[in-house]
Structure 1
Amino acid sequence: MNTKRTWTRPEITAVIGLLTSASGIAVLWAAGLEFPFYPPPGMLIMTAGALAFTLMRPRLRYAALVPALLGLSGVVGFVMEAIIGGGIGLANLTGDAGTAPIFGQALQQLGVVIAGVAGVVAIRSRAARDSRVSQPA
């Protein structure tokens, strides 16, 4: 199998989504929000996910599971934190913590949604492309 495949739009979008989410977390950290340790774990996870997907993409058929699952976990984590954890993320979005956290939280959530959706689209398009290639002519 040819390992030098060109990037598809969903794959590029998935990486951009992960890096956007990491940037949003960086904005939250720069705005003074408290994180368990330095650097913020979510920023490390999203950046590592983008790097892992980039490195695995040519070799593994379902490498796009990385951005899809990270995106899903980001959205589920935000919703669960809003329901169970006191709603710090919602407070950031409504401006209770100032203006910079609004931007950072919106950027983070936009990134995880984009990464999740683009990851799923990338999986589906790669599977469809691989099934077309493997069919006899």
Structure 2
Amino acid sequence: MNVKQHWTRPETAAVAGLLASASGIAVLWAAGIEFPVYPPPGIVLLGTGAVAFAAVRTRVRWAFALPIVLGAFIQAGFMIEGFTGGVGFANLAGDAGTAAQIGQAVQQLGAVTAIVGGVLTLRARTARRTPQAV
């Protein structure tokens, strides 16, 4: 059975959010922000997550969880780092320059978009499976 599956808006938003968040990390890296390893693991993690979600989005039930978990991981890391004296909030405020500020903003907006897209995908799939009362 070779049925073509169309992308829904929430699915598109989830993938776009993951890729935007990864590109935000790339901008941070290009702006000179130091990362503990090369290449920054967030780029690899988010890029792989976007590809995995795109590949299995219609075949497995848990696919919606990928953008939610990865977006939450990025947001949690940002918040934890920010409240423990890290550079996340400073980057967002522009203390490390405009490029770092843009990269940090894109990373965070992408993560939020991925979370929202994943949640809306979950909601749409749950609505399709739930029998309607007569």
Global fold match (TM > 0.5): yes
Structure 2: 5+ residue stretches without partners:
none
Q: Counterpart in 2 of 1:118?
A: 117
The number of aligned residues is 133
Q: Counterpart in 2 of 1:56?
A: 56
Q: Counterpart in 1 of 2:28?
A: 28
**Larger CA deviation: 16-25 vs 57-66:** 57-66
* Cα offset, 1:126, TM superposition: 1.1
The code of the aligned residue for 1:65 comes to A
Provide closer, same or farther for how the CA distance between residues 2 and 122 of structure 1 changes in structure 2, counting only shifts above 3 A: farther
Q: Counterpart in 2 of 1:41?
A: 41
Q: Could you tell me whether the CA contact under 8 Å between 1:64 and 1:120 is conserved in 2? A: yes
TM-score by length of 2: 0.92
* Cα offset, 1:2, TM superposition: 7.9
Q: For residues 76-115 of structure 1, what are the structure 2 equivalents within 5 Å?
A: 76-84=76-84, 86-115=85-114
Q: Could you tell me whether the CA contact under 8 Å between 1:3 and 1:59 is conserved in 2? A: no
RMSD: 1.9
For the residue of structure 2 that corresponds to 1:63, the secondary structure is helix
Matched, 1:13 2:13: yes
**Larger CA deviation: 15-24 vs 62-71:** 62-71
* Cα offset, 1:5, TM superposition: 2.4
The code of the aligned residue for 2:87 comes to I
* Cα offset, 1:107, TM superposition: 0.3
* Cα offset, 1:123, TM superposition: 0.8
Q: Percent identity?
A: 58
Distance 2:90 2:7 in 1: 38
The code of the aligned residue for 2:18 comes to L
Structure 1: 5+ residue stretches without partners:
none
Distance 2:94 2:58 in 1: 42
Which 4+ residue blocks in structure 1 deviate beyond 4 angstroms? none
Q: Could you tell me whether the CA contact under 8 Å between 1:4 and 1:58 is conserved in 2? A: no
**Larger CA deviation: 102-111 vs 75-84:** 75-84
Distance 2:60 2:121 in 1: 12
